[in-house]
Amino acid sequence: MSASSSQSSRSGSGLVAGSLDLDNYSLITALNSVEWDYEGEPVICSCKMMAPRWTSWTNANPARRFYGCPNYKDPTKCCKFYLWHDPSLCDRGKEIVLELKAREKLLHKEATFWKRQSLILKQNAVDFVEAEIIEENARLKKEVKMLNNKIKEGKSGKWVKLFFALFSVVVICVFVKGSGNIYTCNALP
């Protein structure tokens, strides 16, 4: 019975085997979720109300579950009832649980740090790729402009060549015609 309640408590903490969802993860060793659907007969506090089950994470009673007045967070209403569900751990057990608690906190802190680092690196990589694309885009635009200029130069050169060709034809025609006149003049008596 303890195992099932422990498992439901852990799944509620967001811990999934093989992955750590840091956004939704709550430290198991700090979790003080209220259990209302515990097994067995409901425990009734001095207020005659059903007492939910809590988990203590104090140094004196780490991981020890207890039933407490539902109004225990409101000192004006709380009847101060509590009843331990679990037996007290031996000193060695407490020492180990507290050590695990400290290590979980540290690992969570480190995991959060590395998650932030990974996001920063990801953003840097995106910025780098974007900068590369912008640079490549500018280079390609420059190249296109140069090619367009070359095409324009080529077109104007073509017209110049055509002009000179026509000019040459005209000059030749004039020369030929001129030669004909001279010949004609010389042929005349």
Considering the rule CB under 5 A, would residue 63 count as an interface residue with Zn ion?
no
Tokens of 13: 């903490």
Q: Restricting to residues 78-97, which ones interact with Zn ion according to CB under 5 A?
A: 79, 81
Cβ 26 to Zn ion shortest distance, Å: 26
CB 51 within 8 A of CB 67: yes
| CA 154/CA 164 separation, integer angstroms | 15
Q: How far apart are the first and last CA of the chain?
A: 143
The single residue among 15, 31, 47, 89 that binds Zn ion, judged by CB under 5 A, is 47
Cβ 114 to Zn ion shortest distance, Å: 44
Considering the rule CB under 5 A, would residue 50 count as an interface residue with Zn ion?
no
Count, residues near Zn ion per rule CB under 5 A:
5
Site string for Zn ion, 139-178 (x = CB under 5 A): ----------------------------------------
CB 45 within 8 A of CB 69: yes
Considering the rule CB under 5 A, would residue 43 count as an interface residue with Zn ion?
no
Cβ 43 to Zn ion shortest distance, Å: 11
| CA 150/CA 127 separation, integer angstroms | 35
Considering the rule CB under 5 A, would residue 69 count as an interface residue with Zn ion?
yes
Cβ 8 to Zn ion shortest distance, Å: 24
What are the DSSP calls for 90-139, one per residue?
A: PHHHHHHHHHHHHHHHHHHHHHHHHHHHHHHHHHHHHHHHHHHHHHHHHH
Which stretches of the chain bind Zn ion, using CB under 5 A?
45, 47, 69, 79, 81
